[in-house]
Amino acid sequence: MFSVVTGGAGFIGSHIVDALVEKGDRVLVIDNLSAGATANIIPHIESGKIEFLQADLLGEGWQGRFSGADRIFHIAADPDVRASAISPGKVYDNNILATERVLEAMREHGVKEFVFTSTSTVYGEADVIPTPEDYSPLIPISIYAASKLACEAMIAGYSYTYGMKSWVFRFANIIGERSGHGVIWDFVHKLMDKPGELEILGDGKQIKSYFSVGACVEAVLFAVENSGEPFNYFNIGSEDWIDVTAIAEIVVEEMGLSGVKFTYTGGDRGWVGDVPKMQLSVEKLKNLGWKPVTGSAESVRSAVKTLLEEIRDT
Ligand code: NAD
């Protein structure tokens, strides 16, 4: 199996690369390194197990490398809700336009299988929680979420029009080794700067599902192997949730701090576009035989430990 992974030098992409190498796939990573780093995949580059091409999906020169590929894992994107409110044009380019260019390159080179990382945020502020895949109407409340929903629609259209098979995964908050953004990263770095106090965005009651990256990648590959419609779409996350203050408490505990004063910026959400309550129903994937292995608190604690180790090692 020849797999191409766009965004394979980033957080989730590099874990997908690990799993594909383990599985014995031939792997090509395409990444512009705007957020990713070759350090995330360096053992595989040095051992010759993968090829790496530094290229921007908005540029030229990479499309021909799809020739002979069996499956594209399109992971590259601007992944941040908060940043998407500041630079919507950049998000349009890196998410919507880049996805359309990848789909076109697949069409040109006859690649038939496409895997895409979407997001829980496509559901907006759902009034059914845990939210199932067939929830509607889908009303995104951020530019990021809107961009991913636009991609999903385009992928469905390409799949049925050009005889491709695709898998769209709507992830909860994915955390763990090599993550360079998100609430855990923010809290750890704020506390390293000022160990006596922690500013928490919103009222700390935002409550969401968190899931470890290793388990997430296993779920992706499980679904790809066990479903086969032209357009397949699945939620992936844990079956519980945790609020932001509880995450802060775990971070403080794992950093060995005490007496930290929490201050809250107030309001029911951390930033414009933040969805304050999110938990996904994973029944559809469970019906295929998959079981979520870790809960939110356990995933958070493990991600904090890993981040602290990574910081100590640098
Ligand atoms: P990340 O920033 O670590 O990875 C994205 C990678 O894409 C980076 O390596 C970056 O350099 C690359 N990239 C971005 N634009 C590019 C372009 N134009 N050309 C080539 N490479 C480009 O982010 P992540 O957290 O690993 O997210 C991976 C995917 O999963 C994204 O599609 C994101 O939307 C999705 N997702 C992530 C989460 C999460 O909790 N982390 C949740 C839901 C969905």
Three-state DSSP at 285 gives helix
Mean local confidence (pLDDT), 82-92:
97
| Ligand 1 and 272: CB distance under 6 A | no
Share of the chain above pLDDT 70, in %: 100
Tell me, yes or no, if 144 is annotated catalytic. yes
Three-state DSSP at 174 gives strand
Mean local confidence (pLDDT), 27-52:
98
Report whether pLDDT(173) > 90: yes
Query: Average pLDDT over the chain, rounded to whole?
Result: 97
The token pair at 190 is 């704020």
Cα 231 to Cα 213, 225, 228, 281, distances in angstroms = 24, 14, 8, 19
How sure is the predictor about 291, in pLDDT bands with cuts at 50, 70 and 90? Answer: confident
Catalytic residue of the set 92, 123, 135, 144: 144
Task: Decide whether 2-174+211-236 matches 179-208+240-313 in CATH topology.
Answer: no
Mean local confidence (pLDDT), 136-155:
98
Report whether pLDDT(267) > 90: yes
Report whether pLDDT(293) > 90: no
Q: How far is the CA of 206 from the centre of ligand 1 (A)?
A: 23
Q: Which residues contact 296 (CB under 8 A, 6 or more apart)?
A: 208, 209, 210, 211, 238, 240, 241, 242
pLDDT of residue 63: 98
Q: Which of 16, 28, 29, 34 most suits a substitution to test ligand 1, by most atoms within 8 Å of the C-beta?
A: 34
The token pair at 224 is 């790809």
Q: How far is the CA of 111 from the centre of ligand 1 (A)?
A: 22
Report whether pLDDT(305) > 90: yes
Ligand 1 atom with the smallest distance to the CA of 93 is 18
| Ligand 1 and 51: CB distance under 6 A | no
What would the CATH number be for the domain defined by 179-208+240-313? 3.90.25.10
pLDDT of residue 116: 99
Domain boundaries, the chain: 2-174+211-236, 179-208+240-313
Condensed to tens digits (0 to 9), the pLDDT of residues 198-257 reads: 999 999 999 999 999 999 999 999 999 999 999 999 999 999 999 999 999 999 999 999
Condensed to tens digits (0 to 9), the pLDDT of residues 181-202 reads: 899 999 999 999 999 999 999 9
| Ligand 1 and 9: CB distance under 6 A | yes
Report whether pLDDT(95) > 90: yes
Is the CATH code 3.40.50.300 the one for domain 2-174+211-236? no
Find the angle CA(12)-CA(179)-CA(89) to the nearest 5 degrees.
75
Mean local confidence (pLDDT), 263-279:
96
How sure is the predictor about 314, in pLDDT bands with cuts at 50, 70 and 90? Answer: confident
